[in-house]
Amino acid sequence: MSRSEQQPSAGASMTDPVRYPSAASEPMRTKRGFVLVLMTLLVPGSAQIVAGDRRIGRIALRVTLAVWALLAAAALLLLLNRSLLINIITNPFASLVIILALVALALGWALLFINTLRLIRPLLLAPKARPAVGIALVLALILSSGTLGYAAYLLNVGRNAIGSIFSAGPSIEPVDGRYNFLMMGGDAGDDRTGRRPDSLSVLSVDAKTGQTAIISVPRNLQNAQFSEDSPMRQIYPDGYDCGDGCLINAINTEVTNEHADLYPGVADPGAQATLEAVSGSLGITVQAYVLVDMDGFAKLIDAMGGIRIKAGGWVPISGETIDEASGIHGMPLGWIPAGDNTLDGYHALWYGRSREFVDDYARIARQQCVQQAMLQQLDPATLLSKFEDIASAGTKVVDSNISSSQLGSFVDLAIKAKGQDVKRLTIGPPDFDASFSTVPDFDVIHDKVDQLLASASGPQAAGQPGTNLFDGEQVDGLQIDTAQVSAAGGRLQASGPLQPTALPAAGRSPAQQTPAPSSGFTPVTTTPDGEPITEELLNQLKSMGDEQTLRELVATNGQCAPL
C-alpha cells in the first residue's frame, strides 16, 4: 500500500471498519472478511478499491470490465453469428491467444485473492472465525482461478484434438446448395497398409437449413464409377471392373498400395480415391471425408459412457472365421440380446460390425442406428463432463480432410439439423434388390439420389414421412402398400425372416425415405413356438450346426432404434 493511500483523505474517518479494521469489533471484522472475499469473487478489484491499494484495484477493475465486455460481445455473437464465434474459438492462433489470456486471468485473480487475504488481516479475526474465512477464501479461489485454469486446459485439449483430426487445407463450398461428406468405417491394423472400409455412407446436409439425408453404399458394390476429375479414370475409364474382387471397399487399399503416385500431395490417396468413386457412383459431388477406425471406435463409445439402443433381434459376437468363402464362423464369443440395451464400446462395435447369419444390409441398418444413438446421446452435459476423454479418443479414431477453418459453419449446421427428419436411401435392400450391387444401374442410382436430395431440401413438417412411390403400385407382380412399411425408418418389416419377395425390384426405390428409425417395432425375443430365445438356446443351435434355424431367429436384428 502506498504511503499516500495509507493516510486517510480529508473527511475520512480512522474508525471506518472497512479500511481500518483495528478499531472495529470482532463480529464486524469477521463480516468484513467474508464481504471482501465475496467482492473479490464477484467484482475482482473492488475489494482493493474500498479497503486496500486503490491503484491495484483500478487496474483489476478495468480488466474485469474489459472481460465482461468481451463476454457480452461473445453472447451477442452467439445469437447473431454462432458459426463465426465457433470459428474464432477453434482457430489455432485465436484459441492459443484465448488460452494464454485465461491463464493470465487465472493467475491475476489468484494474486488478488492473496492480496485480499492480506487486507482481511487474519490475526485480527477471532480464533474461531479464522478457519471459516480461510476456507471461504480458498473455495472462492478454486471457483474463480481454478475454473479459468481448467477452462484453459480443456480448450488446449480441444485445440490439440482439432489439429490432429482436421486438416489445415482450403475451405469447401456447397454444391447445389449441399455439403456432402463421405463417412467411412474400417479396420487399420498394424499389419495393413490402408484401410478397407466396411462401412460407406454419404451424409448430405442442406447448407442453409441443415436438413440431412444419408445414402448408404454397400461395401460390395461392383463396377464403381470414378468421378470425371478422378486420376483413377486413367486406369478404370469404364468403372472399377477388374472382376469380382473389385468391390468399392477395395479401392482404398489398392490405391494406397499401388497408385499413390496419382495423388501427389494428398495425405490419404486411398480415402480420396474412395471419395471419388462414391461421387461418380452416386452422381453427386462429395467434398470431404471422415474416416473412422473401427478398432478405436470402441474407445469413443466408452468415453461417452456407452450408448442406448433398442435391438430388434439377437446379434452374435462372432468367433474365429472357419471358412472365408462361406463366412462360417466358430462358436460365438457372446450375444447382444434383443430389446433395450446399454452398450459399451466393445459391444457397440460388434453390434455395428456383426453380419453372421444375416446380410450386409442388416449390418448397415445397425450401423446407422449406432451413429444416430451417438449423435442423439452426446448431449452438452456429457460432452462437458467427459470432454477430455472424448477428445482424446477422437484423435485415435477419426481422420478427416475437412478444414478446421470451417468447423464453426459445420457445428452450426449440426445444431440446425438436430431434431429434423433424416431421409435415407440404401443402394441395396430394402430400397433395391439384393443383387443390385452386383450389376448396378448407375442411371437409376443417380435418379433416386437426385429425388432423395430434392426431398431433403424442401420444407417438411417434423415427424412426417416422405412420399412412398410404391404405395399401391404393382412391382414385379407384387402389390406394394404402405401398410407393409412400418414406422421403423420406412423399412419393410416382418415378424419372421425377411423374404426376397418383400423387397422392391432393383431401381424401384422410394425417392425419399421416412424419418430416422423409430421404436415402433417389437423385438423378437421368443421362437415361433413361444419358447424364450436365450444365449444358451442360440449356442445349442450353433453347436448342432442348425444354421438355418439360427438365421430365422436372428433375422430381425437389422431393426434398431436409439433410446
Written as nine digits, the cell of 523 is 423385438
* 147 and 216 fall within a common domain: no
**Region of poorest pLDDT, from 45-59, 64-78, 404-418, 450-464:** 450-464
For residue 327, the model assigns a pLDDT of: 64
Task: Kindly tell me the burial class for residue 59, based on how many C-beta atoms sit within 10 Å of its own C-beta (0-12, 13-18, 19 or more).
Answer: middle
Place 352 in a pLDDT band, splitting at 50, 70 and 90: confident
For the entire predicted model, the pTM comes to 0.65
| Distance linking the first and last C-alpha atoms of the chain | 62
* 487 and 534 fall within a common domain: yes
Neighbour tally for 9: CB within 10 Å: 7
Phi, psi of 223 (to 5 degrees): 60, 35
* 191 and 124 fall within a common domain: no
Instruction: Answer yes or no: are the C-beta atoms of 478 and 433 closer than 8 Å.
Output: no
Over residues 269-288, the pLDDT tens digits come to 998 999 999 999 999 999 88
* 524 and 463 fall within a common domain: yes
Pairing mode of beta strands 328-329, 212-217: unpaired
Residue numbers of the domain that contains 62: 3-165
Helix/strand/coil percentages in the chain, nearest 5? 50, 15, 35
Preceding peptide of 510 cis, ω within 30°: no
Task: Kindly tell me the burial class for residue 101, based on how many C-beta atoms sit within 10 Å of its own C-beta (0-12, 13-18, 19 or more).
Answer: middle
Place 324 in a pLDDT band, splitting at 50, 70 and 90: low
Spatial separation of the C-alpha atoms in residues 561 and 491, rounded to whole Å: 12
In a domain, 371, yes or no: yes
Place 398 in a pLDDT band, splitting at 50, 70 and 90: low
Check pLDDT > 70 for residue 305: yes
Task: Kindly tell me the burial class for residue 337, based on how many C-beta atoms sit within 10 Å of its own C-beta (0-12, 13-18, 19 or more).
Answer: middle
**Best-predicted range by mean pLDDT among 120-124, 422-426, 433-437?**
120-124
Phi, psi of 343 (to 5 degrees): -100, 130
* 296 and 215 fall within a common domain: no
Task: Kindly tell me the burial class for residue 256, based on how many C-beta atoms sit within 10 Å of its own C-beta (0-12, 13-18, 19 or more).
Answer: buried
- 517-523-527-533 Cα dihedral, nearest 10 degrees: 120
Over residues 459-482, the pLDDT tens digits come to 543 333 333 333 333 333 333 333
For residue 68, the model assigns a pLDDT of: 95
For residue 160, the model assigns a pLDDT of: 78
- 377-383-385-390 Cα dihedral, nearest 10 degrees: 100
* 281 and 311 fall within a common domain: no
Q: Extract the runs of DSSP E, i.e. beta strands, from 207-265.
A: 212-217
For residue 499, the model assigns a pLDDT of: 31
In a domain, 170, yes or no: no
Of 252, 267, 287, which residue is a domain's last? Answer: 287
Check pLDDT > 70 for residue 72: yes
Of 244, 261, 287, which residue is a domain's last? Answer: 287
* 71 and 126 fall within a common domain: yes
Total of domains in the chain: 3
For residue 131, the model assigns a pLDDT of: 93
Check pLDDT > 60 for residue 136: yes
For residue 467, the model assigns a pLDDT of: 35
For residue 132, the model assigns a pLDDT of: 93
* 278 and 368 fall within a common domain: no
* 468 and 336 fall within a common domain: yes
Q: How far is CA 297 from CA 20, 117, 196, 305, 332, in A?
A: 63, 50, 15, 13, 21
